[in-house]
Chains A and B, each alone.
Chain A
Amino acid sequence: MIPSIDEQTLKDEIARLETQLSAARAQLVTTSKANVSDHLTPNGLSASSNAHLPNHPLLLLSDSALPLGSFAFSSGLESYLAHHSTTKGNPSASENFPQFLALALTSLATTTLPYLIVAYKSPEKLRDLDAELDACTLCPVARRASVAQGRALLTLWERALKDDAGESPAAKALEQFSKAMKPPQSQDDEEIELSGHFAPIWAAATSAMGIGLHESAYTFLFNHAKAVVSAAVRASVMGPYKAQGVLASGLLRGEIQSAMEANWEKVVEEAGQGVMMLDLWVGRHELLYSRIFNS
């Protein structure tokens, strides 16, 4: 007998919870003082100090060297600068930058965070979420960027990450998604196929790798901030030290946290563009006379 969808969903849920439970148990074992053994690793580190080690998968996924092609048309920065360079008496590009960064984070959070959260909690909905997010991503430049990064992460998952991630509903969902992916569809194709948008795939991959939901969402937004800042360096808006200063700042942390709070309880139907200007800047990237960012 083929189990009904509900049964399957429940089984998946149980499997997921069991995975979490065993992970938690393993952690308890390593943290518990009672279990401190004198077993030493080759480095001389006690197993008990594992609890103080950083989250390995998180370090991996927050690395700017991750091959995701995350310049993403500079997330609208280059176009924003071009649209503000002609106005006389305008503050300089580097003075404008914090404002742009805040807008970019707000926009990313209002448009995609609800999808990330649902995809994390219910990876079996990955295909539906991808289709729905595609219907909501109307700016062609933004769509190209999101799909390019999502597909790059999917490839990375397939080729490099999945072997060590083990089994989980999220891993299963990614595998099915990957199989179902068709070649890229033309933009005005009416048949809805899988696109491979970034946020839901990121959510499934982070879940499959045992990263917590809050960490996943924070890292997603922080990675975006890093991409925008690195685009700013490349566009000579600021030097590398100033750039690191921006990334280290409490201001940026605050922006990320408030963007998370503002969108945490939303259902996907409530996602939408929070910064209308960003669609215009990003959409008009194609009109720039000279471009540093062509992808």
Chain B
Amino acid sequence: MAKSTLPSLPPALPTFSTLTYTYPLKLLPSTPHILTPHAQTSDEPHVSSNRSNTVTPAHTSPTPIQPTSVPLLFLLTYGGGLVSGDHIALTIHLDPSTRLTTTTQGSTKIFKPPASPTISSSTPPTTRQDLTVHIAPRAARWLAPDPVQPFAGSLYAQTQRFEVEREGSLGVVDWVCGRGGGREGRVGGLRGGGGRNEVWDVFGKDGEGKEKRMLVRDAVVLEGRGIRGRMDGKGVFGTVILRGPLFKGLADFFVEEFKALPRIGGRNWGSGNEVVKELTKKEEWKKRRLEREKEDGLLWTACHVRGCAIVKFAASEVEGARWWLGCMLREEGSVGREFGDGGLMFVR
């Protein structure tokens, strides 16, 4: 069991009070993002992963402190992937008014269990990743990894639980894709598994024991026959979940852009003969984006539901989805501003 603790630095300079991890997970802090004075919020994070992986931000100050920087934490796996039976359990705790950006350096591959030497009816162990995140008041977390990439024949289960206190903010991207092109590259190659993202509202006063209420559970179950047939030719699927004041702008942006999508099956009455009018920068952006959505077979939805915003997307290939996510996040701009370039590395 590995354990590492970074010492705290003066207030408002985020540091990890606890940072422990163990094989096959590696937690790597990187250059923090310096916030300009007008940007809001706090201090620092506390991460822990189990077989023991943890992150905790060190300072808790009685009064809200505006953070001056946002640490960037890489979640890495040895060899860029997980084998059958690997189980990662990571706990991240953000103290009040702290902020944390988390990402990966490339997709997390889920390898196929080795062929059993004997004819055995027992199912090989599933690869598991469990993440628990606690976000204190005014704290904010942007979790934007590269996609999980299950190889054909792999078994994978992922559970992410986010406990968000009032005025806390959460932004998470969770996506899965097949490997490469062709039949092998389809998510449908997965032999079985599923994923679950839960957002819990945590409220009440400290001393009296806080109450928790489940706001949303976004669950996917892939098992049984004919998984491939359920994918309709898509090679990548994903969800973005947003909650809290720091993500309000981004949430509204997705929902408004969704509502403004062209109607499906509507006729294009103009059909090329109208006078070419000059497009505004925003119109240019949207035109280009819609063209790419079509080329990449990208379908998406966005809505506000139970105090969160949920964005769902699917595309033919992972690069199409990556382009689209980057296009949306950069245009709206708040992720880069509030969480730094590290928060956009996954769409580079």
> What is A's interface to B at a CB cutoff of 8 Å?
79, 82-83, 85, 99, 102-103, 106, 110, 132, 134-136, 138-140, 143, 187-190, 192, 258, 262, 269-277, 279-280, 283-284, 287-290
Contacts and interface: CB of A to CB of B under 8 A. Distances in A.
A273 B307 contact: no
Interface in B154-204: 194, 196, 201
B237 interface: yes
Given A289-B263, A289-B266, 19 more contacts: A83-B264, A135-B216, A138-B310, A139-B303, A139-B312, A140-B305, A262-B223, A271-B219, A272-B219, A274-B220, A274-B222, A276-B220, A276-B231, A276-B237, A279-B312, A283-B301, A283-B303, A289-B267, A290-B265
Contacts of B79: none
Contacts of B201: 190
Given A140-B305, A190-B201, A287 B264 contact: yes
B230 interface: yes
B232 interface: yes
Given A135-B214, A136-B219, A190-B201, A284 B301 contact: yes
Nearest to B294: A86
B250 interface: no
B265 A288 contact: yes
Contact of A188 (B300, B306, B313): B306
B224 interface: yes
B314 A276 contact: yes
Would you list the 3 A-B pairs with minimal beta carbon distance, nearest first?
A: A272-B219, A283-B301, A289-B266
A280 B264 contact: no
Nearest to B303: A140
Give the residue among A99, A135, A277 with the most B Cβ atoms within 10 A.
A135
Interface in B200-251: 201, 213-226, 229-232, 234, 237
B218 A138 contact: yes
Contacts of A290: 265
Given A280-B300, A283-B301, A288 B263 contact: yes
Contacts of A102: 226, 229
Give the residue among B214, B304, B312 with the most A Cβ atoms within 10 A.
B312
Contacts of A103: 229-230
B261 A134 contact: no
Contacts, number: 113
Interface residue SS majority, chain B: strand
Given A276-B237, A280-B299, A287-B264, A99 B229 contact: yes
B219 A83 contact: no
18 contacts: A83-B264, A102-B226, A103-B229, A135-B214, A136-B216, A136-B217, A187-B303, A187-B305, A262-B224, A274-B224, A276-B312, A280-B312, A283-B301, A284-B264, A287-B264, A288-B263, A288-B264, A289-B266
B80 to A, nearest CB: 25
Given A270-B221, A271-B219, A274-B222, A82 B265 contact: yes
Contact of A139 (B232, B265, B266, B301): B301
A189 B225 CA distance: 38
A190 B196 CA distance: 21
A132 B224 CA distance: 25
Contact of A287 (B218, B231, B263, B306): B263
Contacts of B306: 134-135, 187-190, 192
A187 B310 CA distance: 13
A274 to B, nearest CB: 5
